Amino acid sequence: MQPSEQPAIPDAQAAAIGIDQSAGDFSYDIKYDYDAGNGLTENTVRYISAVKKEAPWILDFRLNALKTFLAKPLPTHWATRDLENIDFEKIRYYLAQGQKPKRTWDEVPEDIKKTFERLGIPEQERKYLAGVEAQFDSEAAYSNVKEIVAKQGVIFMNSTEALREHPEIFRKWFGKVIPTSDNKFSALNSAVFSGGSFIYVPPGVKVAQPLQAYFRINAENFGQFERTLIICDEGSEVTYMEGCTAPKFSTATLHSAVVELVALKGAKIQYITVQNWASNVYNLVTKRGLAQEDAEIKWIDCNIGSRLTMKYPGVVLKGRRARGEVISIALANDGQHQDTGAKMIHAADETTSTIVSKSISVGQGRATYRGQVYIPKHLKGCKNNTECDALLINTNSRTDTYPAITVRGDKHATQHEASVSKVSEEMIFYMQQRGLTEAQAMSLAVNGFINDLANQFPMEYSVELKRLIELEMEGSVG
């Protein structure tokens, strides 16, 4: 079966930038064994729960979440016009070819295997990963954790399996960091969630190699609603990486995930995202971590593609000396709005938070930083540093910064820095005189702008990020 593809850029240009434009832009005609149909009703929710053979408490959780979703209006204070274009009655909320992920690559259905092989899975696993999960539409198609990590007691599986096999761990924190009622889209996820990753790291275990999940949307008019929960017990450490792609369709595609991180005393979690959604995807996710005493949670977030992204990873600094950090890179091209930022809630003495945001606006793209930092009056010795830098590529591109920093009391240290700059014609001219094309010169300027942050990504992700930016510049000039 041959995939349907969009036209790629000319071979010569593709060779020059070292990446195929259509790397993620293909889809296969899949015959799904499970299909909840279009539209969202109580029957949709009951179908999903029945197919998964879930415990009664999970169905109750879903049905209550559906009521919350229907009762909540769309957010009205930003991005309203874009959100009104989502037709929830046309979305397909559950599609799966099978219920159980395969443990060996040879067992994966051929069309799904072709999809992930084209995207570099499982080559990355063989190179440097401790475990991989690959989700195709609503369910994980492949899930594998290396034996040496499993022997340490590390649990890494999709959330559907984890709810069945480890309810005593999962249920304790499920929905506790991000309540169903947090916002309309967290309620939507709670009603129809499927897939996503579950990780539990036992006390004192430091996972030496990253764990990775890859989320792939294949179907048209589809909504992907993975639910991820990562728990690091006392003194443990883990790095988790996720990649996301979808083909281009003329109709809207919805991605609305919920990610909850729990770092117990002295634990460290690093969560890395590189998304390259197609320009028809609405990427509306809720991500938040809870850091106990001496714990550390670090989000590294890269957003390229999508029609609209609304994403604000956050950390609730619950224990004394807890640390939270968000490093964010967003690139908005024509017809795209990257509304990204971070939330830091200080809830204990001597807690520290850092936010570093860099955005690039190309053509008529719009990048928005939206942040929240809150330090209450009764705390002592809290620190926050927020940096927001924006780069404008064209005269029609737009950037906005909406920092909300609330500090009560006089025993804290906070600082905020923001800058907006434009790529100068003189610099581009100078580089062109030395043999670079305009697109190559733009790419060099943008990669220089984000270089200090990109270096914090693992090597392969850093290379991929820079190539994606080269690709975006190739299509934006000339």
Q: What is the overall mean pLDDT for the chain?
A: 84
Report which residue type is found at 28.
Y
Secondary structure element (H or E) that encloses residue 203, with its range: none
Q: Kindly indicate the confidence band of residue 83, based on its pLDDT and cuts at 50, 70 and 90.
A: confident
Are 65 and 40 spatial neighbours (Cβ–Cβ below 8 Å)? no
Could you tell me the pTM of the whole model? 0.87
Q: Of the given ranges (178-182, 211-215, 385-389, 406-410), which has the lowest mean pLDDT? A: 211-215
pLDDT in tens, 280-293: 889 999 999 999 99
Q: What is the mean pLDDT of residues 110-120?
A: 67
For residue 88, how many C-alpha atoms fall within 13 Å in the half-sphere facing its CB? Answer: 16
Contact 367, 394 (CB under 8 A): no
Percent of the chain's residues with pLDDT above 70: 81
Extract the tokens encoding 250. Answer: 């003329």
Ranking 32-41, 89-98, 248-257 by mean pLDDT, the lowest is: 248-257
For residue 288, the model assigns a pLDDT of 98
User: Cα 41 to the chain's mean position, in Å?
Assistant: 27
Task: DSSP for 443-460, please give it.
Answer: HHHHHHHHHHHHTTS-HH
Q: Tens digits of per-residue pLDDT, 165-186?
A: 999 999 999 999 999 999 999 9
Res 179: pLDDT: 97
Comparison of pLDDT for 248 and 440, the residue scoring more: 440
Average pLDDT value for residue range 365-392 = 94
Task: Return the pLDDT at 207.
Answer: 94
Q: Is the pLDDT of residue 122 over 70?
A: no
- Proportion of the chain above pLDDT 90, given as a percent: 49
Residue 248: its pLDDT value, please?
67
Report the 10 Å Cβ neighbour count for 55.
14
Of 42-51, 77-86, 93-102, 423-432, the range with the lowest mean pLDDT is 77-86
**pLDDT interval class at 125 (50, 70, 90):** low
Q: What is the mean pLDDT of residues 21-30?
A: 49
37 or 296, greater pLDDT: 296
Distance CA 270, CA 313 (A): 12
Please provide residue 327's backbone torsions phi and psi, each rounded to the nearest 5 degrees: -115, 120
Cα(295)–Cα(59) distance, integer angstroms: 33
Distances (CA, A) of 174 to 51, 163, 232, 261: 21, 10, 14, 10
- CA gap 205, 238 in Å, rounded: 9
SS3 235: coil
Q: How far apart are CA 375 and CA 383, in angstroms?
A: 9
Q: What is the pLDDT of residue 333?
A: 86
Count Cα atoms within 13 angstroms, Cβ side, for 208: 6
Mean pLDDT of 336-351: 96
Residue 134: the pLDDT is 76
pLDDT tens digits, one per residue of 197-209? 999 999 999 998 8
Residue-wise pLDDT tens digits, 140-156 = 777 777 787 889 999 99
81 pLDDT band, cuts 50/70/90, is low
Give the pLDDT of residue 162. Answer: 92
How confident is residue 5, by pLDDT bands cut at 50, 70 and 90?
A: very low
pLDDT grade for 237, boundaries at 50, 70 and 90:
very high
120 pLDDT above the threshold of 80: no
Residue 240 has pLDDT above 90, yes or no: yes
Q: What letter represents residue 203's amino acid?
A: P
pLDDT band at 8 (very low <50, low <70, confident <90, very high): very low
Residue 248 near residue 280, CB atoms below 8 Å: yes
pLDDT score for 15: 31
What is the CB neighbour count within 10 angstroms for residue 271? 22
What is Dmax (Cα atoms) for the chain? 69
Q: What is the pLDDT of residue 478?
A: 46
- At residue 75, what are phi and psi to the nearest 5 degrees? -55, 135
324/356 Cα distance (integer angstroms): 12
Q: If you average pLDDT over each of 214-223, 374-383, 414-423, which comes out highest?
A: 374-383
Whether 33 shows a pLDDT value over 90: the answer reads no
Which pLDDT score is estimated for 77?
A: 63
